[in-house]
Amino acid sequence: MMEEERIFAGVLFWPGHPELRAIKLRAHNLCTRYNRTFEDDTEERSRILADLLAELGEGGFLQGPIYIHYGRHTRIGKRFFGNFNLTIQDDAPVTIGDDCNFGPNVTIVTPLHPLLPGERRVMLDENGDRRHLCYAKPVRIGHDCWFGANVVVCPGVSIGENCVIGAGSVVTRDIPANFVAAGNPCRVLRTISEADSMACKPEILAGCRVIPADRSVLG
């Protein structure tokens, strides 16, 4: 089994393997190139992201700077917005749905390390060689999710569609669809409903209007 295949199988792998180091170096260099571009250099930014990510749907925008570990393990849907300092440590696959919006400093993490310090330092791989080993679990985020600033999504977490995750949350377990969740650790607070429509907040609308079709996403 190749080392990248071990990642996808969810078993221990050696992150220092030359195969993996080459993938990460390429991704890190592409991120550095992206972070050196100007925001209005849209063609160059698009080229870099096409080389970096496994998929980025139409209308996606990453403010930058970005920090993405493998790149080719990340798939992002259409009309994505990622604010400053988006970090994706995508050892295992990361999947983000359509129409997601991330505030500043959102971090998605997939790798896990042994809890015992001796095992973190060194273990024996399948060939009996002494290695620094870890493993990883995929992260899945549904369509139409909004993450506040400084949200951290931990390995193995799935977040359902239409969720709002409050600023500063550390998401350690799955969040079902259509919920507001927040905290450290992140907990479900309540269901999102039509009562949350901006149509119910005339003092904030200030002459703006809700498009009725957009109010049926939870139906």
- Nearest partner of 80 among 53, 62, 107, judged by Cα: 62
What does the block give as tokens for 204?
Answer: 């904030």
| DSSP letter assigned to residue 52 | H
Distance of CA 70 to the CA centre of its chain: 12
CB 117 within 8 A of CB 125: no
DSSP string, 138-170: -EEE-TT-EE-TT-EE-TT-EE-TT-EE-TT-E
CB 197 within 8 A of CB 179: no
Residues taking part in catalysis: 113
Across-strand partners of 86?
A: 66
Strands 179-182 and 187-191: antiparallel
Residue 38 neighbours by CB under 8 Å, 6+ apart: none
CA 40, 42, 44, 48 torsion-angle sign: positive
What does the block give as tokens for 27?
Answer: 């991704």
Distance of CA 187 to the CA centre of its chain: 18
